[in-house]
Amino acid sequence: MPDMLVGTSVGAVNAAFLAVDPTPRGAYRLADIWRRVRKDDLYPGTHLTALWNTIRGREGLFSNANWFAFLQKHTPAKRFGDLRIPAYAVATDLETGRQVVFGDNPDDPIVDALMASTALPPLHPPWVYEGRRLIDGGAVADLPVRVAIERGATEIIALNLANPHTPGEQLRSLVGIMNRAVSVLIWRHVEADLEHAAMLGNVRLRTIDLRVEMTLAPWDFSQTSRLIAEGRNITRRALEADPYQLTPPQQRLRDRLAETLSVKTASMFRKTTAWMRRNAASSPETRNARP
């Protein structure tokens, strides 16, 4: 059983659901909920609906009323303090651009946290909580490794959905281009969090890349069963191989860090050696020793 769960966007939803029952039974129950979801359950209407909302100056292409009802129906706890194990949800303050973490306060309401963490522009409008307009946490921490470390995690298994590399054929549609643009924006934050973890000697991190060669719109739930099965298989293979084996991005970060440190060390050695030579040449003992 994990000691804590940390998530951003739909990862926050899954974390909150699993934190009530962090067992295989809880995972199967969560998977069953997602398998039953259809587009109209969360995104009612058509593309004309989204266009009409845009013309009317709405803050999102779709209303978040259905999403709110979905969370209220299925969220098994009301406050973070009611969860069986600690869980944290990451959102972004739209006005300041700063990270907002729900769950540090046990009285934080779970549904508000999940509405904020999943308010992805332009699909959903910002979620207002305690006077702040909050949006999807992916804008600041799509893979919230640093959030977990700051809350005491020393062994982390991170499930990564960010993909900085998109096949060219997937960039010929509006959805493909939109997904690529979002991936480019959030990958820098993912890299920064991985680099931060790589610099810490007391953190064991295993990043599992849950990537599939498939382009889906956020409102397309037709492949849910396939994605769950592929995610389970990818994760099982990765953990059976080595739960804390460095992935290629982590290895590159660690190699880059080692190279930087070696260059700096060599530079400091050269400077120290030059200083010692100058100091020795100017010392009285050296001058007196000359013929």
Catalytic residues: 9, 136
Write the burial class of residue 80 (CB in 10 Å: 0-12 exposed, 13-18 middle, 19+ buried). Answer: buried
Write the burial class of residue 285 (CB in 10 Å: 0-12 exposed, 13-18 middle, 19+ buried). Answer: exposed
DSSP-assigned letter for residue 126: P
- Closest among 245, 252, 170, 234 to 206, alpha carbons compared: 245
- Closest among 17, 7, 232 to 117, alpha carbons compared: 7
Output the six-digit token pair for 109.
């309401």
Is residue 253 within 8 Å of 73, Cβ to Cβ? no
Residues 6+ apart with CB under 8 A from 196: 145, 146, 149
Residue with tokens 């409008």, as numbered in its chain: 125
Is residue 244 within 8 Å of 204, Cβ to Cβ? yes
The dihedral formed by the CA atoms of 241, 246, 248 and 253, expressed in degrees to the nearest 10: 180
* Residue 89 bridge partners (DSSP): 7, 102
Residue with tokens 């991005």, as numbered in its chain: 249
CA 291/CA 284 separation, integer angstroms: 14
CA atoms within 13 A on the CB side of 40: 2
101, 109, 114, 162, 203 from 88: Cα distances, Å: 7, 11, 10, 19, 19
